Structure 1
């Protein structure tokens, strides 16, 4: 339970932030509008306000009375510039990723995509957790102990679910040998 002094401190902090936001929100919005596209302004302004909230005690010129814009705005503009730079870097990373994905797709051989509809239909018949365990094993290459870490189950429970899921999937796909599911077997256990 929060003590009365902690609650009062939290209320004072909130009140200080509200006074600051009242003074700087509109000038920061205009500042960002002049520096980036209109569709990014609201997100960057929100990031800026979050930083101001987190660093409310570091804002120079901010006391317990309404702040003077000339005292707080220069520092807040610096915060907004940092948030704008972060957004630009993130946008650049996204753009480079999209370009790399496009190049990868263009570099693929023109052979037709394999039809995996039967596999997906068979996977859809499995329970959600069985499907997840099977996909983590087959597609992500995780061992049962790693799947246990990812799902919060025990390694033993994962091994049992994996065995049953592979068996059900093989039956759905009409295979007689359920062991041909993509992973090598070593000493009776999957090497994955």
Structure 2
């Protein structure tokens, strides 16, 4: 339980946590606040004798972001309603597609959503994902494949029948 251990942990993972928070929250101000809260919790955990580990930190981040989502839910709905009024026809279709993808993601389980965010929004490698999840790279790949299939199914149910499965070579 030393400040040096915590400082090393902070320096090692602060940028990753900020990047993840920025991707999930779409705003640097909120992301910095969320990451500050995550590391406040980590410091209290460390002072209490708890072990600092990336999977644990990632879970704390997920929980804090969940709290932030709930706080921002009302303002997001208002912003979406306002955006629909102000976009032109081409932009409106793109916004509708993006909104439908977001809705489809929300219908997935939290674990599927997290996998898809880690792989495509946060651009983590399969090795990094496996490390965060505490599983093998093969297991992470299989879980990601299944999450992509479930997202494709949700989009097809919403009327997007021509969806091709997203594939990437990021390993």
Rg larger for: 1
TM-score bin (small chain): 0.3 to 0.5
- Using the size of structure 2 for normalisation, the TM-score is 0.38
- Using the size of structure 1 for normalisation, the TM-score is 0.34
Which structure carries more relative contact order (alpha carbon 8 Å, separation 6+)?
2
